[in-house]
Structures are given as C-alpha cells and as structure tokens.
Amino acid sequence: MDGVTLLSDYQPYPFEIEKVSMVFHLAPDATRVRSTLALTPRAGAADVHLDGEELRLVSIAIDGAPLAPEAYRVTETGLTIAAGALPAGPFELQTEVEIAPAKNTALEGLYMSNGMYCTQCEAEGFRKITFYPDRPDVMARFHVRIESDLPVLLSNGNPAAQGAGFAEWDDPWPKPAYLFALVAGDLRATSGTFTTASGRKVDLNIWVRPGDEARCDFALGALQRSMKWDEQAYGREYDLDLFNIVAVDDFNMGAMENKGLNIFNSKLVLASPETATDLDYERIEAVIAHEYFHNWTGNRITCRDWFQLCLKEGLTVYRDQSFTRDVRLGALKRIDDVASLRARQFREDAGPLAHPPRPSSYREINNFYTATVYEKGAEVVGMLATLLGGEGYRKALDLYFDRHDGQACTIEDWIKVFEDASGRDLSQFKLWYTQAGTPHLSVSERFENGTYTLDFEQVTAPTPGEPEKPPRHIPIAVGLLGPNGDEVVPTQVLEMTQGRQSFSFSGLAAKPVPSILRGFSAPVVLERDTTPAEQAFLLAHDTDPFNRWEAGRNLARDTLIAMAQGGAPAPDYIAAVGQMLGDATAMPAFRAACLRLPGEDEIASALAANGVVPDPDAIRAARRDLMKALAQTHEAALVAAYEAHAVPGPYSPDAGPAGQRALRLATLALLSTLDAGARAKALFSDATNMTESIGALGLLVAQGTGQAELDAFAARWASEPLVMDKWRSVQAMLSPPEAAVEVVTAIAESGAFEWKNPNRFRSLLGGFAANHAGFHRADGAGYALYADWLIKLDPLNPQTAARMSTAFETWRRYDATRQTHAQAALKRIAGAPGLSRDLSEMVGRLLE
C-alpha cells in the first residue's frame, strides 16, 4: 500500500554515525543549520539516504569537497547520495540548510512560541531541521553550537562553551535524533540541585518566561522527588551534570523527554494555588516524573523502530503510575488509572481505531501516540510484574538495563529479559502486545462439599484486521470473603491460559463471596451474574480497595443502565452509598471516588456493549435523576460531610487536603441538585484556590445558572491564558446540551479566542467533545461544528487536528439519524482540500 510503513519491512541503517556536529545560526525566517555527520559504512552499504522535509539545501560536501549536482538528489522527503560519490571508508558529510521557524505552525521541528525558539522532534520532526537518518535506531553523539543574541541558549547534554552571541553543548550519550532539542529565548530559571546516590551533584533548572518564575517551585520539587524515587525503586541514577526543563506556551502535547533538556507544555509546569487545581498539581508531578523516568526507559534504552513505541511509553507510564502511588495517592491511584483506562483505552479498543500496543503498520506515526500504546502498554507491564512478583520484576528490569543499555530495542528483547529472569515461557503472554481488543472474561461459580469453584471463559471480539482471537494469558487476582466479611482466602493470582478454565478452593465452611480481578490485575471486562446485595457487601467489606470501589461502581453503572431505559434508581445502590458516606474509616478521597457517578460516555458504552442503542439525552437525564435521588435520601449526611471537610489554613496540594476538597466537591455536586446552586455560589465567592473556584463554577454552569460567576471569573483572569482555558473548558463541557453548540460557537467566534494555540483549541473543542449529549446532539449540529474546526486547524497543525478527530471514534454506537450526521461530518473532513496525511489517515479509519 502506498505511504504505509510496515513492521515487517524493517532493515538496519547501512551506516553508523560516530558523531554529529551542528551549528545553528538563528533567525525567525531564515535560520541556517550546518551539520557534519561522521559516517562509517556497514557491510553492504550502498547509497546514503537521509530524511529531510521543508529544507532549502544551501550546500553539500563530503570531506570538505562540494558534491557535484549529479552526485545527489533531493526530493520532498529526503536526500540521496549515490554510492559512486562516496569514499570507500568512513567520511564526513557536511550540509547547510535554511529553515523558517517563524512560519512553522505545525509545532514540529524548530519553531517559535511567543518569541522563543524551541523544538519538538519526536517522532519525525528532526528531518525538518536538517538532513539526517531520522529513525530511532541510529544513535549518535551530538555537539551543538547555537548562535543568537537571545540571552539563554540551550541544547542537550552538558555546557561546553559560552560567549557573547553563542553557546556550545556537548551530549556524551549517544542518542537518536528524536531526542534532540534546542531552546533559545529570554528565559528565567528556578534552580536547585540533586545529589545522586553515588555523589554526583546535578544542577536543576526550570526555565520559564519572565513573570512566571513564582510558579515553578512545585515542578522543581517534583523533579527532585522523581530523581530520588528512580534511585530507590529502580536503582537508576541520573547521568549528566545538568537537567533542564523549559516551559513553552505552544506545544502539541504534554511534554517531551529530550536528553537533559525536557520541553514542557507550560500548563504542566506552572502552578500556584490561585491558578492551578489539585488535579493540575498531581498531573504536573506525574508528567515531570514521566519525562524524567524516560532518561533510562526511552533514552538510554530506546526503540528500534516506531512500532516498538510502547516499549518506552508503556513502561514509562507504568513507572510514573507507581511513583504517584508511592509518593502521593496510594491505592487511590489504581482507581483513577483504571477509570481513565476504561474511558479512553477500552473505548479505543471497541471502535474503528482499535490497534495492538505494538501495531504492525501505520501511515503517520504521530497517530499512534494513543491510550492503547501508553495506558494499555502500562497495563501489560503491570501484568508482567504481577506474574513475576516484586522481586522477579526487579530482577528482570535489572537484566534489561544491564543487557540493553545504549541499545535500540524491540518488544522481543523486552519479553526475553522476563523469560530469562524467571525461566518462564511468555510466548502466549506476548499476544497482549501484538493483538488488539479487550478480552471479556465471564465467570460463574459452584459450591459443593466445602469446595468453591470459579469457571472462567474468555472471549475477545474481532477488531479491524484481526478476525481470530486466540486465548490470552490472563493473571486473575482473587480473594474470598466469608459471610461475615472476613477474608477467608487472601489474594492469590490465578493464571488463565485457555479459553475456558476452572479454579477451585477447598476446605471452606460456607459459600464465600468472591472478590475477582483485585487491583484490576488484567485489562479485561469482567462479566459476572451477581446481585446488588453482593455488590453492596463487597463495597462494605472488601479488603482490596480497588474492588471495593469497583463494587460501588458496578452498582452505579447497573442502576444508570436501567434508568437510561426507563427504570427507577436501585434502592440497594442508594443505601450502599449512604453506608459508604458514613464510613469514617474510609479516606475522604476514597469516599469522593465512590460518590462520583460513571460519566455519560461510559454509560453509553455499557449500553452499546449490551446491544442497546444509547440515547444521549436519556443517559444525561438518568445521571441527573440519580444524583438527585442520592441527594434527597442522604441530604443530612451530605451536608455534614460538606461542612466537616472544609480545609482550614493556607493551601497545600498534598494528597490529604486535596482528598478533603475532592470529597467536598463530590458532595456539593449532589447537593446542588437540591439547593439550586446556592452552596456552589457561596463556595465560588469564598474560594481562595482554583480547585474550589473552578469546581463550584462548573456546577453552576451545569445548571445554567452561572453567568454572573463566569463574568467575574473572566474579569479576574483575563490576562492568564492557562486559567482562561479552564473557563472555556467548563462551559464547553458542562453547559446544558441544548445550549452547548451556541455557547461554544460564541466563544470561538469572539475575537479573544486564540485558536492556533493547541491549549486554547483543546480547551474549547476538546471540552465540547466531552459534553456527551451536546456533541452528540440529535440534529448533528455538534458534529458539524466540530468538523468545521478540525478542517480549519488541519492546514496549520495536522497533528493536533488528527488527534482530536478521535472524538468521532464512537459514532457507530448511536441511532441512524445521528450516524448519518456524523458520517456526513467525517466525509466533509475527508473531502477538505489539501487534507493532511495525519487527519486523512484518521478519518479514513473512522469511516472504514
């Protein structure tokens, strides 16, 4: 197929690159980049092919001698030098190109953001900077000289020289080009140090634009905590004298792990109590950790090709999740991660974009930075840790670092270290990496003569291109509770490897209540015929915090499914919530998690999985009715919890006070269905932190009663773009569905909306896509509006446009009228003139 890259086509690069020297002479419209590559041919090497896009070649020479025009050829995608023009042994290739960072709106390669220069090279952006073999298995040492009058000039590695108008950087560690970075601007640092376990003193800097320095302390502390944790949990030390983080305002994603010079979206660095929420603090810490952890899992050991992306991303997400559990959230972290896995990855697996964590073909690799590669990739690592146990996992990771440091690796290399460390055969387990789809695990039970048996069956529905699904190796963590709530069989991990399999427990005095898939030990959908009474029992007694939450979640979901089809709220559920609310032994954050109802999209997906066409308006009504029923039954307890959990004193983002605020906002959401927003209005006007301010505002917007507060908020924060993103988001996401299209249109068309900035665009359109009943409005106005904006963004920023098109991935779930409208919107995008490769691949798959 044209333009398709296949895993099976992999070939090693025929040259080795010993060293790369680059000189950048920065100018917004005409930056000059001189590169010198020291190339050594491998056996059988022929022509030199270098990737290059949107480069104007100024000169080209080998060992100092200019190349004759017939010796090379430049196309839209690269530069080829004929074998005949090459010396027999090693040689130096010099090129000079001109590029225009100020015209780069795609934010890939070298571009400008608010007067500063910055780069984003992963996955294939380096080819927009210079001619180079832009593939991760080519690892080289880089020396970089930057010439510019700007005061701060940064690149990877350690500083080598500095003077008026220039700086030089030397990175001693060989790296793939996607980890290259350059930053130049008028920046200020918040600095600190970290001394590694072996005594190396590392200078740490968080670089921001003047004025933002006061919001960097939390990020700096998070970096120090991450460095410490990686030493303790994985024995990994940092390996340069310097670690720089730079915040930029225009960035296509969260952050980037460039060697020694991480570049971050400013929303994931800057935090103050007045401007950032508890969740922002949590995310900042997690992303700083994630990018830092990449230094070993990604940079020192990288990917052989982009098909192996989950090798670094799945593992690094698993590492950052473990970090946040250890330093911040404890068991709550698993609950949050599973909720997000279901909302994003299960949804992806169930639709036209389903793909394995390691895909085997792509057109545009940027379209594969997905929940499946990241979050499911992390689940697969977690299952390996469950199967090998803590010690076995650590042994395997030690072997991975010993064996593969400095290499570009594959999933096969990764599986092999687990096999070698444990002596086990993991060939069936490997299917988790190579096949798409979420297994459905159904279970029934038998109890005879003191023996309790669980009969499991696993089925995975076909996904695009994969009709047959052989059974997976599934670790199922199970514990059994006795009738009085005591644990009679503590957690053990059952290993299912067949389509149907039974496991027995003998010597039991009475029929137990099973707690299955504890800690969500595998990314599957568990199906079990159970009673509301049993779920309520587990919600009250399970010793596994995840399954305790899960029991309440199942009750909530089942009652919402019934209500969305005309049923009434289940009394067992309402009663169980009352019990949980009154359980003073449960952490506030846990109670908050239990009070939050499944989202509308999750209910729609559950209905669709049951073969029911979801009605977005009925789902929304069911959710609101259930909130109201809970509030009516438990009003006194909710008011008591709301009042008891006010946090006195100055703001702290720590888990304790954040959990109290979460419980307060969760109770407030229910109470607001009774008091017409009176408490939310009071909280909004008293709030001294952004968590409560935006939390209260959101509740008012959802009721259509927050105009005065919206105006006050806008007046206060007009000059803070990151805060105004929240103002746009709450309106787009929470406005009543019948008004949402109009609200979004009004904001979008006001002159103040800087839609070319990805954060601004996502705040409004991304927020709108999360407004389930608004986006899926029956008359198709939501789809049409969304399509208009994707078509408008695509020519400037294909990556962000393509990523946001996933809002359409569930379109086939809905009724024929909605489907017709969604299909028309997608076809309109598909037919837009000059559609990017990124977005065209996505709409193609969405329409397939």
Q: Provide, rounded to whole angstroms, the least separation between the CB of residue 120 and Zn ion.
A: 13
Cβ pair 247, 269 in contact under 8 A: yes
d(CA 712, CA 734): 18
So which residues are the catalytic ones?
291
Is the preceding peptide bond at 629 cis, omega within 30 degrees of 0? no
Kindly state the DSSP code that residue 302 receives in the 8-state scheme. E
Residue in the block written with tokens 């960072």 = 101
Q: Which is nearer to Zn ion, 316 or 460 (CB)?
A: 316
Residue 646's region, left for phi above 0, alpha for psi from -120 to 50, else beta, is beta
Q: Which of residues 253 and 270 has its CB atom nearest to Zn ion in the complex?
A: 253
Q: From ligand B3K, Zn ion, none, which one binds at residue 256 (CB under 5 to 8 Å depending on kind)?
A: ligand B3K
- Beta-bridge partner residues of 436: none
Q: Kindly list the distances between the CA atom of residue 745 and the CA atoms of 719, 750, 751, in Å, as whole numbers in the listed order.
A: 22, 8, 12
Instruction: Please say which residue, 253 or 371, places its beta carbon nearer to ligand B3K.
Output: 253
State the nearest-atom distance from the C-beta of 146 to ligand B3K, in Å. Answer: 23
Q: What is the closest distance, in whole angstroms, from the C-beta atom of residue 244 to ligand B3K in the complex?
A: 16
Among Zn ion, ligand B3K, none, the one that 421 touches (CB under a kind-dependent 5 to 8 A) is: none
Position 435, amino acid: Q
Distance of CA 679 to the CA centre of its chain: 34
Where does this chain bind ligand B3K (CB under 6 A)? 122-123, 253, 255-257, 290-291, 294, 313, 366, 369
Strands 242-248 and 261-265: parallel
User: At its nearest, how many Å lie between ligand B3K and the CB of residue 127?
Assistant: 14
Nearer to ligand B3K, 276 or 802 (CB): 802
Instruction: Give the three-class secondary structure for 720.
Output: coil
Residue 623 or 845: the one with the smaller Cβ distance to ligand B3K is 845
* Contacts of the segment 661-665: beta carbons below 8 A, 24+ positions apart: 661/278, 661/689, 661/691, 661/692, 661/695, 662/278, 662/588, 662/589, 662/592, 662/593, 663/588, 663/589, 663/591, 663/592, 663/595, 664/692, 665/592, 665/691, 665/692, 665/695, 665/696
- The site partner of 122 among ligand B3K, Zn ion, none (C-beta below 5 to 8 Å per kind) is ligand B3K
Q: How many Å apart are CA 1 and CA 264, to the nearest integer?
A: 36
Count of chain residues binding Zn ion (CB under 5 A):
2
CA angle 475, 478, 480 (to 5 degrees): 170
Please, which residue, 157 or 298, has the CB nearer to ligand B3K?
A: 298
CA–CA separation, 544 and 335 (whole Å):
11
Sites for Zn ion among residues 157-176 (CB under 5 A): none
CA–CA separation, 311 and 434 (whole Å): 12
Residues 256-315 that bind Zn ion (CB under 5 A): 313
**Smaller CB distance to ligand B3K: residue 257 or 601?**
257
Q: How far is the CB of 342 from ligand B3K (least distance, A)?
A: 21
Q: How far is the CB of 366 from ligand B3K (least distance, A)?
A: 4
Task: Answer with the entry of Zn ion, ligand B3K, none that 366 interacts with (C-beta below 5 to 8 A by kind).
Answer: ligand B3K
Q: Which does 634 bind (CB under 5 to 8 A by kind): ligand B3K, Zn ion, none?
A: none
Residue 348 touches which member of Zn ion, ligand B3K, none, C-beta under 5-8 Å by kind: none
* Residue 43: strand, helix, or coil: coil
Least separation in angstroms between residue 254's CB and ligand B3K is: 6
Shortest reach from residue 316's CB to Zn ion, in Å: 5
Q: Identify the residue whose tokens are 């299960």.
A: 346
Judged by CB, which is closer to ligand B3K: 294, or 818?
A: 294
- Among Zn ion, ligand B3K, none, the one that 152 touches (CB under a kind-dependent 5 to 8 A) is none
* HSE of 734, CA atoms in CB hemisphere, 13 A: 22
SS3 category, 794 = coil
**Considering CB distances under 5 to 8 angstroms, the limit depending on partner class, which of ligand B3K, Zn ion, none binds residue 253?**
ligand B3K
In this structure, the dihedral spanned by the alpha carbons of residues 486, 492, 493 and 497, taken in order and rounded to 10 degrees, is -90
Query: 51 contacts which partner out of ligand B3K, Zn ion, none, CB within 5 to 8 A by kind?
Result: none
Q: Report the nearest approach of ligand B3K to the CB of residue 807 (Å).
A: 18
Chain positions 310 to 329 lying near Zn ion, rule: CB under 5 A, are 313, 316
Closest CA to 560 of 548, 546, 574, 547: 574
Q: Measured from the CB atom, is 3 or 90 closer to ligand B3K?
A: 3
The residue (of 379 and 602) whose beta carbon lies closer to ligand B3K is 379
Distance of CA 251 to the CA centre of its chain: 15
For the CB of residue 363, give the shortest distance to Zn ion in the complex, in Å.
Answer: 22
How far apart, in whole angstroms, are the C-alpha atoms of residue 613 and residue 571?
Answer: 26
Question: What DSSP line would sit under 500-549, residue for residue?
Answer: EEEEEE---SSPPEEEESGGG-SS-EEEE---HHHHHHHHHH-SSHHHHH
Residue 123 binds which one of Zn ion, ligand B3K, none, with CB within 5 to 8 A depending on kind?
ligand B3K
Which residue ranges make up the site for Zn ion (CB under 5 A)?
Answer: 313, 316
